[in-house]
Amino acid sequence: MKQQELIIHKWNTKLKRNPFIAGLLSLIIPGLGQIYAGKGNKGAGIIFAAIVIANLNIIILPLIALANPGLPVIPGDANAVWKYWIPRFTHDIASLWSIAFWVWAVADAYTVAKKLKV
């Protein structure tokens, strides 16, 4: 039994990762910190999701800018909601979603590495 415990201990010491470095890596590329912490599948999934979100933003945000949300809203304009508010709201949601996903990826990388360090 002691030999098995020794093998497990050696394996666990190899898996110990610095949580700060894991978070920093995910700050650079979302998912990279999870891969560093030993969760390759999770990291690959996050990288894939980050690529999808980035491409959607590349497609959607310029279309919203073409809707010209900077136009002044004319009082009494029945189409003001469609000309100004819907594109503005969609832009804000898309931007906040991207930022929230990135912050989550950094926090998750930190916690994954910290759990392995215990």
Residue 116's identity, in one-letter code, is L
| pLDDT tens-digit series, residues 40-99 | 899 999 999 999 988 888 887 777 767 665 566 666 666 666 666 777 777 788 888 889
pLDDT for res 117: 63
Res 54: pLDDT = 86
pLDDT higher than threshold 60 for residue 118: no
DSSP-derived letter for residue 68 is -
Measured N-to-C along each axis, helices 19-28 and 86-117 cross at an angle, to the nearest 10 degrees, of 150
3-state SS assignment for residue 91? helix
Report the largest interatomic distance among the alpha carbons of the chain, rounded to a whole angstrom: 81
Give dist(CA 110, CA 89) in Å, integer. 32
pLDDT at 102: 93
Say how far apart CA 93 and CA 56 lie, in whole Å.
12
Tokens of 20: 């700060």
Give CA–CA dist 31/29, Å, rounded: 6
